[in-house]
Structure 1
């Protein structure tokens, strides 16, 4: 029964729910098995960023957008750490499987390209959410920075993790070895993250650079998270949500096409 009930694969309708849940569970367990690297290390890195920038610049910087520099910086560091980890989760999973030759274990089960995309995204979003919770607790405990708009903050964490998780899938499928993956990270992902208003308000930029920044979807992630945490932003949060949703769908579609065609996956 192609469209109905099949006990063999636990397929109800057109979705292999058992296969999808298994892939998602594998991706979550993969990063939880090394939680000191995937969850604790990002928390330490975010803390070091905040400490160094505050010591080096904070006392002389003054207020930014009506808040002190530390408070302004914290949401950007949080989101930057979340998206970097979401990207690393999906990209490393695929690249490692390709290098070790066990990507066939993912391709052979009765999973559709859409189910594979969703399964990998679940791991990236799960890791992003856990990193966000850990850093948010640290900000609250040590700096007294709470979350003013929890729904907006949660929406941007989930969408940011999905966007960079999808980009990680595309990068992981494209890269055949670790140095190619490192090149994508160093020359595409890191510049987009650092030039997105994480450490400054885009209003301080010259008009031309300000316009260019608005074409960077990561800018809207940083800006939206800043609104969710401290209630200030350079652009309308709703506009950022639309841009990020559109970018996530577009990149997820590219990942789906790569899985469907077996691009750089099948020998």
Structure 2
């Protein structure tokens, strides 16, 4: 992290009124805000690909399930199948978008050779972490809001507890944003990033109770599902949105918080050391 250290050393001798100067014991609010806004503007500049396309995919999934098996499926956990399905598709779309936002941002900067532009300003590892996560959370919340509105308009799904729902959407976006940063830092090529997304994120998001209750699984798979943070994120959103779940939302909250602490701690450590970010 020699370039960053040199920048910070030079900042100490600069006038105190200079924009972005770090002062001992204080947060570089201007730099953190700039990074956070950059991450939001980055995906909003191509909103048709980053926001609209996932929303269309979610709508198509709901339409296909409604036409194909919705009326014949019957109730699941005491609610109509399409009502049960809507929260799963919502959070599946959210976590995939949160992961894509941070992973693609870091990977693009590394492949393009301009990651140094992010590392050189006087930003600490925690400030870099917050800036990148802000974009992931913002994208996740936008997607969640639009899909929730569509579920209410077209399926009549009314949110039962918006506090629980927003909590798990927020924590799920942070968790997946952190995983996306790990993938983006680790990957040196887009092929490696695609492999992580295709063979880890997509299967786990599909096989964690998105389309079914885990009570329908055989005992070994049901036990394994309870060790999967993805399951608790999906289950927590389902509890907040329609009032049914496979496990206690309080247990899910503890597990997802613990998962966030572990993942974000790893990211902070890697950013602090410049792991795989500096040649």
TM over 0.5: yes
**1:95 to 2:107 alignment:** yes
Match for residue 85 of structure 1?
A: 97
Structure 2: runs of 5 or more not aligned = 1-10
Match for residue 123 of structure 2?
A: 111
Query: TM-score, normalised to structure 2's length?
Result: 0.92
Match for residue 251 of structure 1?
A: 263
1:137-196 deviation per Cα after TM superposition (whole angstroms, max 9, x unaligned): 111111111211000011011101000000000000000010000000011111110110
Asked whether the 8 Å contact 1:148–1:231 carries over to 2, the reply is yes
Cα distance in 2 for partners of 1:170, 1:197 equals: 24
**1:143 to 2:155 alignment:** yes
1:200-224 deviation per Cα after TM superposition (whole angstroms, max 9, x unaligned): 0001111111000011101001100
Cα distance in 1 for partners of 2:150, 2:71 equals: 21
Match for residue 131 of structure 1?
A: 143
Paired residues for 1:1-267 under 5 Å? 6-8=16-18, 9-11=20-22, 13-267=25-279
Structure 1: runs of 5 or more not aligned = none
Cα distance in 2 for partners of 1:69, 1:159 equals: 26
Cα distance in 2 for partners of 1:6, 1:209 equals: 59
Cα distance in 1 for partners of 2:155, 2:69 equals: 17
Asked whether the 8 Å contact 1:98–1:176 carries over to 2, the reply is yes
Secondary structure of 2:75's counterpart equals coil
- Structure 1 residue 126, shift from structure 2 partner: 0.5
Query: TM-score, normalised to structure 1's length?
Result: 0.96
Aligned-CA RMSD value? 1.4
